[in-house]
Every structure is written in C-alpha cells, then in structure tokens.
Amino acid sequence: MKKDARIFVAGHTGMVGSAIARLLKKEGYTNLLLKRSGELDLRNQQAVQQFFSENKPDYVFLAAAKVGGILANNTYRAEFLYDNLLIASNIIHAAYEQGVTKLLFLGSSCIYPKLAPQPLKEEYLLTGELEPTNEPYAIAKIAGIKLCEAYRDQYGCNFISAMPTNLYGPNDNYNLQNSHVLPALIKKCYLAKKNNASHVEIWGNGEALREFLYVDDLAQACLHLMLNYNDREFINVGSGTDISIKELALLVKKVIGFDGELIFDTTKPNGTPRKLMDVSRLKNAGWVFSTPLEEGIRLAFNDALASGKLDS
C-alpha cells in the first residue's frame, strides 16, 4: 500500500475509524478520504456510488456502523439491522464496481452463537442461535462477511473481514443510555466519585465474562491485515484473554479511585455468558496485542476526562 494511495476510512469519526485514521496519518499515508455522515450518508446507495466514482479509492477500511450496548441493540432493533445492512452492502458493492484494490470489513464478536464453545473459533459462525438482545446487529455483520466472501468468489475481489472483540479507548461513547459496558463503568465510577455517592449500580450479576481490546491496538491489527492478509476466511481480532464484569468493575474502581460499593442488579440481563475470541489465526498472521487492560483503562479514562465526555 503506497503512502499516496487513496484510502477511504468509512466511519472515521467513530472510535474504530478515528483510530485507523490516526494510525494511517502517523505512518505517513497522505491521501485519506474522510467524509462525515452529514457529508456522505452511507445508507444512500446513489450517494455512495457517486462518492466512489468521483474519488476512486484504492483501499477501503469499512469501520462505519450503527453501534451500541445491550440496551441500544435491544431497543433499536430495526435501525441496527437496516442501517448496518445498507452501509455494508452499499460500500462493498461500490468497491467492486470501482475496482478497489482491497477492502477490509470490520464486524463484531457478537456474530457468534450465544452458547458457542469457548474460546470462539472462526468456524463456529452459524452453528447455533444468536444472543437475542443483539441479533439484528449480528445478522447485519454476518451479512457483511458473506458479502465479502461472495464478491471474492464471484468477482475475484480482495475483500477481507476482521471481527474485533469488545473495544474501548479514545473517542468512545460514554452516553449511559447506549454505551458499552466498559465506558459505562468508567463514567459511573467517575460520577460516583465526583458526587461522593455511596455505590455504583451495574446491570446483571457480574459473572459474565468479556474480552477487551484497546482500540489503537485494533487499528494496528487492521493495518497489519491490510498489508499482509489476503485469505477468504474472516479473522478474529482480540487479546485472547477475558475478565468477569465484576473484576472489570473493580479494576475501573481502582483506576478512577472510587471507594464506594458495587451493587449488581440481577433483574437486568447479563447478555452472552462468555465471549472470548480464539486469536490463533491472527497470531499465525503475525500480530498480537500490546496494551494491558489496566493501562488501557487509564488511557481511556484520561482521554475521556480531557475531552469532557464524562461530565456531559
């Protein structure tokens, strides 16, 4: 990938896309194509086709998506399915039509069956029922994988897919109505400490196990895969280690310095009991993560504090 190649980072204002764009700039790539949603509605097929026709990107990082936590996924089920299906199909088809050299589609670990064996191997896809709370989002991401495979099979496109685990870091969403678990814990503990609250309430019983990856590590993995990975099979991207929600909350408390109690609301859903990625294929492709969880939480907290996201 030449330094002056035309590179379209779809979703560059989001957490993942912004991390990819930061890394590309840092690595000396000078011709990034970046459009905000107000400038280019990726759900609009005609607009996407016109953008690709006029700009003719050489490479595409497809990081754009409508995302959220359990509450948002379960509440806005139609939007999560419709928007993400359109984004993936519009960009992948336009990339094929305009002869894009290579495309990387980014999905999610929620594509796997709710009760799939652990750790999650790529071959477990479509072997069982999905977690009901995020089924629409998962179906849209599975469709993206299958689109990349189908366009490769029928047209010879070098379209690859990567499935990240739970992500966190700079530019994360800290809105408690639709954020993921880690930024929600950071904000809750921060506000509790600031307001001298006695406790923080957490959904579920704290026993669910989750894996986390610092988003800048994901960006490194994406660039590595774009430069080195050309196989049909999608590839998991994660740390290969997990932690219970209770242990995670205790770690967040430690980083932020909140001394109050953690209260687990067992009337609320836990989500999938465990989600740990098997990252053997990724290691074989030559990449491993580098940011330990506690260090990453501290970096994420400091970034959110500096940007004012914890007080808004």
**Has residue 271 got a pLDDT over 80?**
no
Average pLDDT, rounded, for the chain: 94
- Work out whether the CA dihedral 76, 77, 82, 83 comes out positive or negative: positive
Whole-number pLDDT of residue 74: 80
Taking the C-alpha atoms of residue 14 and residue 138, their distance in angstroms, rounded to an integer, is: 19
Mean pLDDT of 45-53: 97
Predicted confidence (pLDDT) per residue in 90-142, tens digit: 999 999 999 999 999 999 998 999 889 999 999 999 999 998 888 999 999 99
- Global pTM reads 0.93
What residues are labeled active site?
137
* Superfamily for the 7-170+212-240+275-291 domain: NAD(P)-binding Rossmann-like Domain (3.40.50.720)
What are the DSSP E strand ranges found in the chain?
Answer: 7-10, 32-33, 59-62, 102-106, 159-164, 166-168, 199-203, 209-210, 212-214, 235-237, 243-244, 261-265, 274-275
Written as six digits, the tokens of 77 are 């089920």
Closest CA to 241 of 293, 183, 168, 295: 293
The pLDDT of residue 185? 95
DSSP secondary structure code for residue 235 in this structure = E
Residue 71 has pLDDT above 90, yes or no: no
- The model's pLDDT over 52-70, given as tens digits with 9 standing for 90+, comes to 999 999 999 999 998 877 7
pLDDT value of residue 114: 87
| pLDDT of residue 241 exceeding 80 | yes
